[in-house]
Amino acid sequence: MKITYSGILPLHILLCCLGLSSLSSCVTHDQLLNFNKGEPFPNEPEAILNYQTITIQPEDILSIFVSAEDPETARPYNMGAGTNMGMMGIQGMQMSGYLVDAEGYIDFPGLGRMKLGGLTAEEARLKVLDALKEYLTRPSVNLRLMNFRVHVLGEVGRPGVINLSNQRLSILEALAMAGDVGPYGRRDSILIVREREGERSFSYVDLDSRDIFRSPHFYLKQNDLIYVEPVQAKTTTLRDPATRVLPWVSVVTSLVAFALSIFRN
């Protein structure tokens, strides 16, 4: 059988190529890497200069427990945790504490309104302790922020709310807790939405850059929202079923026409 060139052949080859290219959605190797841009990491340890201690904000919930040399004298200062409190459900559990109002105050039993907003947890603890020294012998105060949480959305393994008992969390730790950035997530432009003192800010961090460790947003604040945007390649995986079938139809049709053009000649 003699095979001769037909003008139809280039068209079929072109159709095959177009069909095959539409079936693939490429995520490059570089898009899956972290810390692959910028100056090399230093060989020697460097000081951490971008961490700022968390400060108490309106609508925060504080756990405050008072003890003293005579436990009975401290009891009235702990009653407020059950009567004058803010309630919040976290992961199906109820927790209680002192709710910081819009002006930064809490109502503390026996001491009245105290402004703790804008203070660190340690500063607030010392302020309560100093106020109690007038009434208690050798008092002790344990104060913690109860609602330190961040929200992680977008292209991560497990989007949702992360609740913590400690108050130091980096964006890398938050993403690890959320199942890491997925293969279709943009690592070079991760949005952080932060609300502080009645203002909302929008910032971006780049996981590709080694400078992320020096970013002022490397360490997160309570109630930060992290959003990982999808890469363009993901759009090809979310088309409706009909459009996903069309490329295969195009490929099969082209191959059949190509075979027929050969055998006819």
Q: Are residues 168 and 200 in the same domain?
A: yes
Q: Are residues 69 and 122 in the same domain?
A: yes
Question: What is the per-residue pLDDT across 139-174, written as a single tens digit (0 to 9) for each?
Answer: 999 999 988 999 999 999 999 999 987 788 999 999
Q: What is residue 187's three-state secondary structure?
A: strand
Q: Are residues 47 and 152 in the same domain?
A: yes
Q: How many domains does the chain have?
A: 3
d(CA 36, CA 19): 34
Task: Look at residues 94, 114, 145 and tell me which one is the last residue of a structural domain.
Answer: 145
Residue 25 within any structural domain of the chain: no
d(CA 177, CA 230): 19
We report the CATH number of the domain holding residue 131 as: 3.30.1950.10
We report the CATH number of the domain holding residue 45 as: 3.10.560.10
Range of the domain at 255: 238-265
Token representation of residue 24? 């693939």
Q: What is the DSSP letter of 42?
A: P
Question: What is the per-residue pLDDT across 235-250, written as a single tens digit (0 to 9) for each?
Answer: 655 555 555 555 555 6
Q: Are residues 42 and 101 in the same domain?
A: no
Residue 9 within any structural domain of the chain: no
Residue 13 within any structural domain of the chain: no
Q: How far is CA 212 from the centre of its chain?
A: 15
Q: Are residues 193 and 250 in the same domain?
A: no
Residue 4 within any structural domain of the chain: no
Say what the pLDDT of residue 257 is: 66
CA dihedral 158, 164, 168, 170 (to 10 degrees): 0
Cβ–Cβ under 8 Å, residues 12 and 261: yes
Task: Look at residues 121, 145, 169 and tell me which one is the last residue of a structural domain.
Answer: 145
Between 253 and 58, name the one with better pLDDT: 58
R_g of the chain computed on alpha carbons: 30
Residue 262 within any structural domain of the chain: yes
Q: Are residues 136 and 251 in the same domain?
A: no
pLDDT at 131 over 50: yes
Considering 8-22, 29-43, 182-196, the range whose residues carry the highest mean pLDDT is: 182-196
Asked whether the whole model's pTM tops 0.75, one would answer: no
Residue 140 within any structural domain of the chain: yes
- Classify 178 in phi/psi space as left (phi over 0), alpha (psi -120 to 50) or beta: alpha
Residue 22 within any structural domain of the chain: no
Q: Are residues 141 and 152 in the same domain?
A: no
